[in-house]
Copies of this chain bind each other. A is one copy, B any other.
Amino acid sequence: MKRVGIVGDGYTAAELLRLLLPMDEYDVTYISSADNIGTAVSALYPQFGDMTQLVCEPTATEAIISRCDGVFLALPHGQSMPLAAALIEAGLYCVDLGADFRLRDAGLYRSYYELEHTAPELLSTAVYGIPELYREQIAVARLIANPGCFPTSAIMPLVPLLAAGLIEHKGIIVDSKSGVSGAGRGMKETSHYCNVNEGVHPYGVGTHRHAPEIRQQLELAAAGSVQMVFTPHLIPMSRGILTTTYSYLADGANEGDARAALAQAYKGEYFVHLLPPGQWPHTRWVYASNHVQISLAQDKDSHILTAVCAIDNLCRGASAQAVQNMNLMLGIPERRGLELIGLYP
């Protein structure tokens, strides 16, 4: 049994606990908080009842090192950088659910997050944690940059297509629809029930921090620059992301080639489901699970390819993927604890 800690007490931390507490492989020995020090997890999140006795502690590097083999960092950007450096140094395994190690370019980080990166030396060793794409690197890593929710949903359908040279590098559109939990537990006007319910609107148009993260992974796959526009929309639901991508099939490529490339890329992958032609992803079918659905079609009058991906933003888009990464690093069977089936109805 591995001892793990969670740094942070927001929605992704709660989702980690939901997944980890019933597992035999892990003993959650530590959780920390900025605002709720001394508060029992069960007081903060009554769904845990008497199923855990954990109490939020201050974030203390020494305590983490002495009590944990692995640690999940579920912190606002900027706060993981110094902590991860110390924990890695002490030999712990880290999965950072925040943004600090996702961008390889410290300059890009500074420009989007308005902060100087304080551990740039770790950027090259951090592995971007989509197991189906980077399993081997993850298995030998010490530090995982757990992907953002939108990036996961955009990268999974697009990376195999770019890697296979089947779509153009220009004119990629990523139109995402997300539930509200992605905005976190904090009180914001845009999370007020009356603002969300019965409405839909775009946000962060042209400025969302997940855009450079998506572009970076697409460019790695394309081995060249990629022109991509990303627009997220907030829709009235708690969980789920559906991402609709539009791209141009390369000369000579068609829908069948694209479908074959995805089938090949995700062959044998337990969590990834390429739906048959004519069937489209629905976030309900992957709700509260680590599963991913993908489908695609070519426009009958053009070379435009529509590829759609559905995930649960808190599970595959954050905490379940984090557990999958931790399992891989710690030598635990990859699927363990993640065999939850999409919740429907």
Task: List the interface of chain A (C-beta within 8 A of B).
Answer: 11, 14, 17-18, 21-22, 45-51, 170-171, 173, 175, 177, 179-181, 185, 187-189, 191-203, 205-206, 227, 229, 231, 233, 235-240, 242, 244, 246, 248, 273, 275, 279-289, 291, 293, 297, 299-302, 304, 306, 308, 310, 314, 339-345
The CA-CA distance from A318 to B131 in the complex, in Å, is: 36
**A121 vs B50: C-alpha distance in the bound complex, in angstroms?**
42
Q: Contact: A284 with B198, CB < 8 Å?
A: yes
The answer to whether B193 and A285 touch across the interface, beta carbons within 8 angstroms, is: no
Q: Specify which of B201, B242, B299 is in contact with A229 (CB 8 Å cutoff).
A: B299
In the complex, the chain B residue whose C-beta lies closest to that of A280 is B202
> Which of A194, A244, A246, A308: most chain B Cβ within 10 A?
A194
> Could you tell me if B308 and A235 are in contact, using CB atoms closer than 8 angstroms?
no
B193 touches A196 (CB 8 A): yes
List, in ascending order, chain B residues with CB within 8 A of A171's CB: 171, 248, 304
| Pairwise interchain contact B193-A192, C-beta atoms closer than 8 A | yes
A306 to B47: give the CA distance in the assembly, Å.
Answer: 22
Q: A47-B342, A191-B194, A304-B171 are contacts. A200–B229 as well, Cβ < 8 Å?
A: no
A310 closest partner in B (C-beta)? B201
Cross-chain contact A22 with B339 (CB below 8 angstroms): yes
- Complex Cα spacing A304 to B197, Å: 30
Question: 5 A-B residue contacts at CB 8 Å?
Answer: A45-B344, A201-B281, A202-B306, A231-B244, A235-B236
Query: Separation in Å of the A9 CB from the closest CB of chain B?
Result: 13
Residues of chain B with a CB closer than 8 A to A310's CB: 200-201
Contacts of A273 in B (CB 8 A): 49-50
The answer to whether B283 touches A240 (Cβ under 8 A) is no
In whole angstroms, how far apart are the Cα atoms of A301 and B181 in the complex?
Answer: 30
Within 8 Å by CB of A301, from B177, B227, B275, lies: B227
Please give me the residue from chain B that is nearest to A202 by CB atom: B280
- A281 cross-chain contacts in B, Cβ below 8 A: 201-202
Cross-chain contact A285 with B46 (CB below 8 angstroms)? yes
* CB–CB B177/A200 < 8 A: yes
Q: State whether A197 and B238 are in contact (beta carbons under 8 Å apart), knowing that A343-B288, A345-B181 are contacts in the complex.
A: yes
Q: Are A238 and B194 neighbours in the complex by a CB distance under 8 Å?
A: yes
* B193 lies within 8 A of A191 (CB): yes
Closest to A11 in B: B345
Is the pair B345, A200 in contact by a Cβ cutoff of 8 Å? no
Q: Which of B175, B180, B341 contacts A244 (CB 8 A)?
A: B175
Q: A205-B280, A345-B314 are in contact. Are A200 and B302 (CB under 8 A)?
A: no
A-B complex: 10 closest residue pairs judged by Cβ atoms = A47-B342, A194-B345, A199-B284, A201-B282, A187-B187, A47-B285, A22-B339, A180-B193, A193-B196, A200-B242
Q: Whole-angstrom distance between the alpha carbons of A181 and B344 in the complex?
A: 10
How far is B145's CA from A304's CA once the two chains are assembled, in angstroms?
30
